[in-house]
Structure 1
Amino acid sequence: MIRHTLFAAATVMALGIAAPVMTAPVAMAAPAAQIRNDAEAALTRLYNQDTAARALGRKAKGILVFPEVTKGGVGIGGSYGEGVLYAGGKAVDYYSIGSGSLGLTLGAQSFSQVIMFMTDDALRAFRTSKGWEAGVDGSVVAIKDGAAASADTTTMDEPVVGFMFNQTGLMFDASFGGSKYTRIRR
């Protein structure tokens, strides 16, 4: 009896955490102006926290900014967010980020994510894909919160670098791998 009660409680908790993330594409759709405003604020926060990130941003051929990505689950998890791609200092496209996982996932969190495309080839490969997946279509070198200062911006030769920052909540899983980026209309 106790085992069934614990299983039922765990199931309800898992659904309570995972349901908002699984329905996120419908519930979180935002207009272009709001995405741009939120993205600009997130990028400003990153640059204010880390001057090396600002220096990398100046060298980047394109910058993809997700002001808020929500990720959660218990065993079964997922994530979703919407963002904007800047190239030449202008918003050129809008994207969603999504992922699903089965296995070692526990908790819920939200965070901001910035991906910088440091070469024309990396940016072109991203923009021409029909759904770019980190770790499959390209590797993202993750620079942890505050760690960009240790990166040498004059010799950084990685084609794609990424930042996760402004994390809230607690989660046992946070990575770029398995995230799929898809162009959306706004």
Structure 2
Amino acid sequence: MKSLLGAFCLIVIGAVAIVAEPSQSKSATAAEINAEANATLQSFVQQITGARELANKSVGVLVFPSVVKAGIGIGGEYGEGVLIMHGDVAGYYNLISASFGFQLGVQERSVIIMFMTKDALDGFRRRAGWKIGVDGSVAIITVGVGGAIDTDKVVSPVIGFILDPKGLMYNLTLEGSKISRIQR
């Protein structure tokens, strides 16, 4: 029984180390975030028909080029991104969440959140920490590579895209994630 408890403690310590790793990693500079966000957006509009038109209709686009999610029973995710309004940088943000349950693995993905109305964007910017599912809902749009978006049928005030899921864990939700403004 003691060896089982010891093994469980080692697993929990390992999980905490994995979860803590993304937030302890070297923070990206503004220039690095901008370059990676630009590359993410370029890839998005090249892969998905209608993506450029949808982005042009939005009042703000929040781009997280790299969000890392890891977990062994206890999980977490972290990423840094930029809010772009009318082609200009309007601020830098981080996305963070924690979870508990059956999970094992590591995944890196890109997240793009588009604010389609001024009210939705203003509500996001007013909060010190915006929690998805509590402070606002994000309609996740799933489109495969080479797919298309019918921009006339998108009616949600906030929409999200999760791109290039890689790794052993697969989760197409942002529910419970908190987005907060950071300085760069």
**TM-score, normalization: structure 2?**
0.90
> Which amino acid in the other structure matches residue 138 of structure 2?
V
Runs of 4+ in 1 over 3 A off after TM superposition: 7-18, 147-151
Q: C-alpha separation between the residues in 2 aligned to 1:56 and 1:15?
A: 44
Conserved 8 A contact 1:17-1:108: no
User: 1:25-174 counterparts in 2 under 5 A?
Assistant: 25-146=23-144, 149=147, 151-174=149-172
Q: C-alpha separation between the residues in 1 aligned to 2:167 and 2:6?
A: 24
Q: C-alpha separation between the residues in 1 aligned to 2:54 and 2:162?
A: 15
Aligned to 1:4: 3
Deviations 1:115-170 (A, max 9, x none): 00000011111111110011111111111242894542023211011011121101
Q: Which moved more, 1:63-72 or 1:48-57?
A: 48-57
Unmatched tracts of structure 1, length 5 or more: none
Deviation at 1:107, TM superposition (A): 1.5
Q: C-alpha separation between the residues in 1 aligned to 2:99 and 2:156?
A: 27
Conserved 8 A contact 1:135-1:177: yes
Q: C-alpha separation between the residues in 2 aligned to 1:182 and 1:100?
A: 15
Q: C-alpha separation between the residues in 2 aligned to 1:157 and 1:21?
A: 35
Deviation at 1:29, TM superposition (A): 0.9
Deviation at 1:173, TM superposition (A): 3.5
Which SS does the other structure have where 2:168 is aligned?
A: strand
**TM-score, normalization: structure 1?**
0.89
Q: C-alpha separation between the residues in 2 aligned to 1:116 and 1:105?
A: 28
Deviation at 1:182, TM superposition (A): 0.3
Which SS does the other structure have where 1:96 is aligned?
A: strand
Residues matched between the structures, number: 184
Q: C-alpha separation between the residues in 2 aligned to 1:52 and 1:14?
A: 44
